[in-house]
Structure 1
Amino acid sequence: MPVNRNALIRYRTIDSCLQNRRRQWSLDDLIEACSEAIYEYQGITTGVSRRTVQADMEMMRSNKLGYEAPIIVVDKKYYTYADKNYSITNSPLNGQDLQVLAEVSDLLKQFKGFGHFTDVNEMVSKLEDKIYTQKTHSAPVIDFEKNDNLKGLEWIEVIRKAIVAKRTLCVTYQSFKAREASTFCISGYLMKEYRNRWFVLAQSHQRHAPLLTLALDRIQTIEEHADDYRENTQLDLTTYYNDVLGVTKSPNQRDCLVVFWIDKDNAPYVITKPLHHTQQLLSEDETGKIFSIKVILNFELERELLGFGAKMRVLSPRILVKQIKEQFLKALEGYKAEREEKAEETVKRDQ
């Protein structure tokens, strides 16, 4: 591999380290991080020298790469960014970056059309659009769904590496319902994206703890831990989420047949974009169509069905019909209360 690719990996690794202000980074720490990255991506085991990392930081400080990284030394020992919000990834791509991206794009194109690589098509389109906009300095021609304010993305690579290497992680986590954060060890098994949010399926090391699905945007800190990694010996990770809409489930839950009616105007949307891969058309008339899906009952399913409002009606199972009906009644009560409050305000003003 050309040296420039190794350098690119080191620049990205140093940048990632210096963005992480939860710990202090000595030169030895940066050398270790770069060596691990080079081994992971290139398979090179010789490690990175002290002089190389020092030269990399000097290069990043210069304008030769298209940016001037504000790398400073604190207490004559630790490296960090003077601007806590800085990252070289916020800088425009330079010629070297574009060359590497173009090579990656050309490589990925070779896998287009293969059944096991259906996601590659979208990836290649994203890459080519990014290369086009950077080279021509023009507006993108593809606007993919994104969330610029999404939190927790910095943990994706940390968790992925731990899963691959089978290492235990110690996480500090605070769910939306918890009053304060808690810290515990996990063995991660699978990462999943749902509606632009990332989750990790993991086993907590706490005694008798259930399998967990942790949202990455609720994680506050992550560190490797000396506890032995707990292997997954029960779950088939390739099919674990096949019977669920979203990510909320437990290993013992069983799916059920959910039957729902959609009015004729909205039925085409459900046909062209099924709610679930098990979706089937059961019947139809002049008012609409009746479909079924076989899934686990969870919060994400309720939210999806509620999103159709009066355009959809759940027919079975009874427990889901009851839950959907209760949600609509609560919403109606909220609107009634709002009307009453406005009426009272009007009376007070008139007086």
Structure 2
Amino acid sequence: MPANKYALLRYRIIDRCLTNPGKPFPTKEELRLACEEALYGSDGEHISISTIEKDLWAMRNEADLGYYAPIEYHRDERGYHYTEDGYSINDIQLNDDDLDAIRFATKTLIQFRELPIFQQFDQALGKIADRLEVSPNLDPEGVDKHVQFESTPHAAGSEHLGPLLHAIRAHHPISLTYLKFTDTPTESTYVLEPYLLKEYRNRWYLLGWDPGRGHIRTFGCDRIRGIAVDDTQKFQVQPSFDARNYFEHAMGITVLGDGTPEDVAFLCDPLLAKYLTSQPLHHSQSMDLDEEGQVTVRLKVMPTFELLQWLQAHASELTLLQPESIRRSMVDNLQNALERQKISGP
């Protein structure tokens, strides 16, 4: 009997868990939680362990699916895995039921793309809709010769999103084992009150209140090595924190304390101005054209690392007018870069 649309979606989620190198050998409960979170969020329990057991059996044996997935339980690791290296049901050609499930999920999401809660995913939903429009059968043969979509790598650390989201919603503090990016990488442990998960440039970040330091800190999820949730404790979110407005004046993931945003202004070449017109840097961006044809771009943003990085990348196309602090940092960094590129003669 053909599987229903939700079962087909669960198979894809289970496959993703079984092929996740960051968290191998998932248990039935971990598979259940992954499906629950992906399909229903954390609102109650809609999927049972028996459903997962049936899914695993179907993926192994159901002829209509055609997966015949080599799934086995590993007694030493106490979890499930594929016995064939590199196996994934994604490598198997989609059948009609798979295509119907994808169309069903896509059409359901697109109906709600204008709602505020879905607006942050509008670009992703648009890409899915565009793919279905150019290739209703999702057949890559021929299509990729004429239309190529940008592909993004799997975000390392995404396996932590489930337990982190649970702790955020339930207001449970966590103990975080974290590996810093330093010359000599070392693991450190932090006790945090988790507030927010944010994606930036295909990486996930956790924002949490550090009671010891008395301020919010940011951690890259790809550097998290372990999470322990304290279900016996509850915390209250700091009154000054507003998730909706926290990044209002930030370009990127960095927010510098509780400081106020600064006025940033630079002259830019006409070609760069056209790009900034079609894709603004920030919602505060304004552009003025003077009588001599020069374009001045103005922003009201925090002086963040990401802003400095962007300005340096386009240094040959712009002249920074203000603020002076960023201009000095920009000049110092570019001079250091120039020194590094000098090659001594023979």
TM-score (norm 2): 0.80
- Distance in 2 between residues matched to 1:215 and 1:249, nearest whole Å: 14
Q: Judging changes above 3 Å, is the alpha-carbon distance between structure 1 residues 14 and 328 closer, same or farther for their aligned structure 2 residues?
A: closer
- Paired with 1:49 and 1:150, the residues of 2 have a C-alpha distance of 27
Which residue in 1 is equivalent to 2:254? Answer: 248
- Specify whether residues 287 and 170 from structure 1 end up closer, same or farther in structure 2 by C-alpha distance, changes over 3 A only: same
**Alpha carbons 1:34, 1:48 under 8 Å: kept:** no
1:260 is paired with a residue whose SS is strand
SS of 2:190's partner is: strand
Asked if residue 80 in structure 1 is aligned to residue 81 in structure 2, the reply is yes
2:180 to 175, 185, 189: 175
The structure that has the greater radius of gyration is 1
1:269 aligns with 2:275: yes
Give yes or no for contact 1:5–1:100 (8 Å, CA) kept in 2.
Answer: yes
Q: CA deviation at 1:66?
A: 3.7
Q: CA 1:38–1:154 in 2, change beyond 3 Å: closer, same or farther?
A: closer
SS across alignment from 2:175: strand
Aligned-partner Cα distance in 1 for 2:234–2:309: 35
Listed one character per residue, the Cα deviations across residues 91-124 of structure 1 (whole Å, up to 9, x for unaligned) are 4444333222212222233335567754565343
Pairwise mapping of residues 1-351 of structure 1 onto structure 2 (< 5 A)?
4-8=4-8, 10-12=10-12, 14-19=14-19, 22=23, 25=26, 29=29, 33=33, 40=40, 45=45, 48=48, 50=50, 52-62=51-61, 64-75=64-75, 78-83=79-84, 85-89=86-90, 91-111=92-112, 117-119=118-120, 121-131=122-132, 132=135, 134-138=137-141, 139-140=143-144, 143-148=148-153, 150-177=155-182, 179-204=185-210, 207-208=212-213, 210-226=215-231, 228-233=233-238, 234-286=240-292, 288-336=294-342, 338=343, 340=344, 343-344=345-346
Cα contact 2:273–2:295 (8 A) shared by 1: yes
Equivalent position SS for 1:172:
strand
How many residues get paired?
Answer: 336
**Residues 187 and 87 of structure 1: is their aligned pair in 2 closer, same or farther, counting only changes over 3 Å?**
farther
Q: Distance in 2 between matches of 1:7 and 1:46?
A: 13
C-alpha deviation, 1:4, in angstroms: 2.4
Cα displacement (A) at 1:6: 4.7
Q: CA deviation at 1:315?
A: 1.1
Quote the offset at 1:283 in angstroms: 4.9
**1:46-104 deviations in Å (ceiling 9; x for gaps):** 76254x44332221113542423221123386433324654445544443332222122
What 5-or-longer segments of structure 1 have no aligned partner? 345-351
- Partner-residue secondary structure (3-state), 2:271: coil
Alpha-carbon shift at residue 295 of structure 1 (Å): 0.9
Which shows bigger deviation, 8-17 or 58-67? 8-17
Could you say what secondary structure the match of 1:202 adopts? strand
Given that residues 256 and 302 in structure 2 are in contact (C-alpha distance below 8 angstroms), is that contact kept between their aligned partners in structure 1?
no
Q: In 2, Cα distance between the equivalents of 1:181 and 1:267?
A: 44
- Contact map agreement 2:3 2:97 (CA 8 A) in 1: no
8 A Cα contact 1:201 1:212, kept in partner: yes
Flag the 1:23–1:298 CA change in 2: closer, same or farther, 3 A: same
Superposed CA deviations along residues 217-275 of structure 1, whole A, max 9, x for unmatched, are: 22233343335243323211111101011111144122111111112332222232222
Contact 1:10 1:37 in 2 (8 A): no
Higher RCO structure (Cα 8 Å, ≥6 apart): 2
Alignment partners' CA distance in 1, 2:122 and 2:35:
32
* Counterpart residue identity of residue 7, structure 2: A
Distance 1:264 1:25, change over 3 A: closer
Give the aligned residue type for 2:11. Answer: Y
Matched letter for residue 106 of structure 1: K
Amino acid at match of 1:125: G
Contact in 2 for aligned 1:190/1:237 (Cα 8 Å): yes
- Does the CA contact (< 8 Å) of 1:174 and 1:180 recur in 2? yes
Retained in 2: the 8 A contact 1:31–1:48?
A: no
Paired residues of 2:153 and 2:202 also in contact (CA < 8 A): no
* Pairwise CA distance, 1:334: 1.8
Distance in 1 separating the partners of 2:34 and 2:201: 32
What secondary structure is seen at the aligned counterpart in 1 of 2:165?
A: helix
Q: Which residue of 2 aligns with 1:347?
A: none
Unaligned ranges ≥5, structure 2: none
Distance 1:30 1:208, change over 3 A: closer
Deviates more, 1:264-273 or 1:85-94: 85-94
* Cα pair 1:255 1:296 within 8 Å, conserved: yes
Q: 1:323 Cα shift? A: 0.7
Distance in 2 of aligned mates of 1:97 and 1:270 = 40
Give the superposed CA RMSD: 3.5
List structure 1 segments (4+ residues) > 6 angstroms apart after TM superposition. Answer: none
- More displaced stretch, 111-120 vs 180-189: 111-120
Distance (Å, rounded) in 1 between the aligned partners of 2:35 and 2:276: 49
The verdict on how the C-alpha distance between 1:317 and 1:34 changes in structure 2, with shifts beyond 3 A counting, is closer
